[in-house]
Amino acid sequence: MILVFGVVLFLVNRVLDLQFPSFYGSGFGYFFRDILHYTICLLVAAYFARTESLTSFWKGFGLDRKPSNYVWCGVVMALIIRFFSHFMLIHGWGKGVSHYDLNSFRNTLGFERYFFLAPSLLLAPLFEESIYRGFLYKAFRGSYSMAASTALIVAWTANTHWSQYFHSLLAAFDLSILTIVQCYLRERSDSLWDCIFCHFAFNASLLLVTAPPR
């Protein structure tokens, strides 16, 4: 159902983009499109997780617990993966991918430019981890082994980040390894915040190595 809603949202966003190009080409429109997509996907996940209140959602998705000691392992691994990738790129040992949000951040003036960064720095860590590790991974673990569940999440990540997987083997490798690390964190810790901070560190480090804030 999440995949179906993703396809429907893509088509709706495409129509709105054609009808309101100036708004959807702005930072505000970019932020609005992403938060709409993430919110609907998360609501679908919450429905199938049978959460009936905010409290049950918070608890069921592992958001009611403080980060564990594994959070530092996740952050360090995210930075290692990012800087290993950057090392490969600057030596010409792999091909990178173009990031629309970073390019728009560089080329936009004023406060609006930060709305291009908000989805990757704030929305993606919170919403994607809630959906991927908070719901999907735990659901798979109810029927499959850790290895099989992790493989399914890697496949799901490849599906939702297909443009990066398709254009760059290095990006595919980075995202796959990061996904494995995050699934390991979810397996070891009852707190989803470990995965969220790991995801944030990975995304934020891209900004630091490619477009330092001015």
Q: Is residue 3 part of a domain?
A: no
Q: Is residue 161 part of a domain?
A: yes
Q: Is residue 50 part of a domain?
A: no
Q: Is residue 22 part of a domain?
A: no
Average pLDDT (197-202) is: 97
Count of all residues that appear for the chain in the document: 214
The pLDDT value recorded for residue 184 is 97
Q: Tell me how far the alpha carbon of residue 32 is from its chain's centroid.
A: 16
Q: How confident is the model at residue 102 (pLDDT cuts 50, 70, 90)?
A: confident
- pLDDT > 70 in the chain, percent: 88
Q: Is residue 196 part of a domain?
A: yes
Q: Which range has the worst mean pLDDT, 89-103, 114-128, 158-172?
A: 89-103
The pLDDT value recorded for residue 16 is 66
Q: Which domain holds residue 93?
A: 64-210
Domain count across the chain: 1
Q: How many CB atoms lie within 10 A of CB 126?
A: 19
> For the chain, what is the mean pLDDT?
87
* Model confidence at 146: pLDDT above 90: yes
The pLDDT value recorded for residue 178 is 97
CB distance 61 to 134 below 8 Å: yes
Average pLDDT (24-33) is: 83
DSSP H helices, the chain, are: 2-19, 21-24, 27-48, 54-60, 70-90, 100-107, 118, 129, 138-141, 146-160, 162-167, 169-188, 193-210
